[in-house]
Amino acid sequence: MRRRRTLTPRGAGALVAALACVVAANLIGAHILIYIGLLLALLTVFSVISVRAPRRSATVTRRISTDLLTVSETSRVSVRFALRSLRVPHGLWHDVLPDAVSGDSSGEFPPETGEIRYSITGVRRGVWPLGPLLLRTVDPFGLAQREQAFGETRSITVVPEIVSLAPLAVRLGAAGGTAHTASSRLGQGADNLSPRGYFPGDSMRRIHWRATAHRGELMVRQEEEESSPDAVVVLDRSARRWPRPDVDADPAFEAAVSLCGSAAVHLASEGYSVDVIDSAGTLLGALRGHEDDRDGLLVALALVTPRGEGRDLATLIGGTPPGPLVYITGRLDEEDAALLRPSGAAAPLLFSTELLPGAGVAASQHGWSATSLGSEVAEAWEDAVSAPIGVGNVPN
């Protein structure tokens, strides 16, 4: 934040004029110019003292109409600014905004309503500081100014945009994920299910110790398999899939993050329990029908960036095939696409922001519905869910 100089351009000009009057008085012998120069200098000094001397302190309290600001969403900010000073100065207030939000956060002080209000719009996701509040005052002659910061900064979280998506063409059960999960458990208890072998990625809480001791190898309780999430959304953020991060956000990665959040929220609304993980296996969020789950996922997505290396998809999913499987990645060539296996998912959807020639066909051979992801997230999703499973939607 650049600090303003004490002297305004007019004040600096007054000092230059004062010095010029003194020099000219000595050169041409006009003593009246000395008095004019001294008057200008004294007036400038008086102006500086009048704006710098008074002590001021204040308390600043901000209230934002939404806890989480979505990209392209507008929110209202209310600022209570209680200034303690010998007199109430007249000037301009300005609340410092990060580049991640836009808005007109300035006006005349004191405000007519006694409360400072303005609107902001989310531009880029992340957690950003809002503030401090600046008060700029100028003396009556316009020669000196004072800009003072009040209050602490407040963090504001800008989350990715969540767009409405078309329903899945493949419905698992009569009412989506909920019906599928319920019907698969009818008539089955914890004691009448056969344990299965352990797969990498299974939770240790699933271990069936009695069967393990009997067979001499790790066994997993079958009923725990059926209580696993119905849908899985994977965001491949491995660094080799995306350009090197720089100051400006990558539009392709932003579209991928938006689709990740939108797909998870959409699948949850259709009745599925949803796990959202990244390519390293880190759990970004789990949607189980609670509003807090959604907010937690959006906050995690607000901070996600391309980094690290990815793991094999089969290892990420484990031994339990999900219903819908949404895999979102960046640059994907034919060789990498051939290695992606949907691990028995009932509805595997693959999205790539840079689907290279041959990649879509290679993915389709393994059952994926492969689609190129551009800036229009909803259109890409509609193309994917409207096509039969195993058919790619690759532009010519």
358 located within any domain: yes
Structure tokens given for 52: 């710098």
Residue 222 pLDDT class (50, 70, 90 cuts): low
pLDDT surpasses 90 at 96: yes
Are residue 302 and residue 245 in the same domain, yes or no?
yes
What's this model's pTM, rounded to 2 decimal places? Answer: 0.76
C-alpha span between 366 and 343 (Å, rounded): 9
Domain, as residue range, for 75: 57-159
- Which of 68, 237, 276, 245 lies closest to 160 in space, CA to CA? 68
pLDDT at 20: 93
Q: What is the pLDDT of residues 9-37, one digit of tens each?
A: 999 999 999 999 999 988 888 889 999 99
Q: Are 348 and 325 spatial neighbours (Cβ–Cβ below 8 Å)? A: yes
For residues 196-219, give the mean pLDDT.
72
pLDDT surpasses 60 at 116: yes
Are residue 274 and residue 138 in the same domain, yes or no?
no
Structure tokens given for 164: 């409405």
213 located within any domain: no
Structure tokens given for 220: 């997993």
Are residue 272 and residue 360 in the same domain, yes or no?
yes
For residues 158-186, give the mean pLDDT.
62
For residues 243-258, give the mean pLDDT.
81
Number of separate domains in the chain: 3
CA 300 to chain centre: 8
C-alpha span between 32 and 261 (Å, rounded): 76
The CATH number of residue 64's host domain is 2.60.40.10
Q: What is the pLDDT of residues 339-376, one digit of tens each?
A: 998 888 888 999 999 999 999 999 999 899 999 999 89
Burial group, residue 341, by CB count within 10 angstroms (0-12, 13-18, 19+): middle
CA distances to 195, 338, 379 from 370, rounded to whole Å, are 35, 12, 13
For residues 157-178, give the mean pLDDT.
73
pLDDT at 183: 35
C-alpha span between 74 and 87 (Å, rounded): 35
pLDDT at 121: 96
C-alpha span between 280 and 63 (Å, rounded): 37
Q: Are 153 and 128 spatial neighbours (Cβ–Cβ below 8 Å)? A: no
Structure tokens given for 228: 């696993």
pLDDT at 46: 94
DSSP 245-262: P-SSPPHHHHHHHHHHHH
pLDDT surpasses 80 at 180: no
pLDDT at 230: 85
C-alpha span between 5 and 7 (Å, rounded): 6
Q: What is the mean pLDDT of the chain?
A: 84
pLDDT at 89: 85
Are residue 152 and residue 300 in the same domain, yes or no?
no
For residues 221-250, give the mean pLDDT.
73
Are residue 264 and residue 356 in the same domain, yes or no?
yes
pLDDT at 86: 78
pLDDT at 192: 41
Are residue 283 and residue 265 in the same domain, yes or no?
yes
Sign of torsion over alpha carbons 292, 294, 299, 304: positive
Are residue 130 and residue 236 in the same domain, yes or no?
no
223 located within any domain: no
- Which of 94, 103, 101, 102 lies closest to 132 in space, CA to CA? 94
Residue 190 pLDDT class (50, 70, 90 cuts): very low
Q: Supply φ then ψ for residue 347, to 5 degrees.
A: -140, 80
Identity of the residue numbered 360: G
Give the ranges where the chain is alpha helix by DSSP (H).
9-28, 32-52, 177-183, 209-215, 222-226, 251-269, 291-303, 313-317, 334-339, 359-364, 377-386
The CATH number of residue 266's host domain is 3.40.50.410
Are residue 232 and residue 338 in the same domain, yes or no?
yes
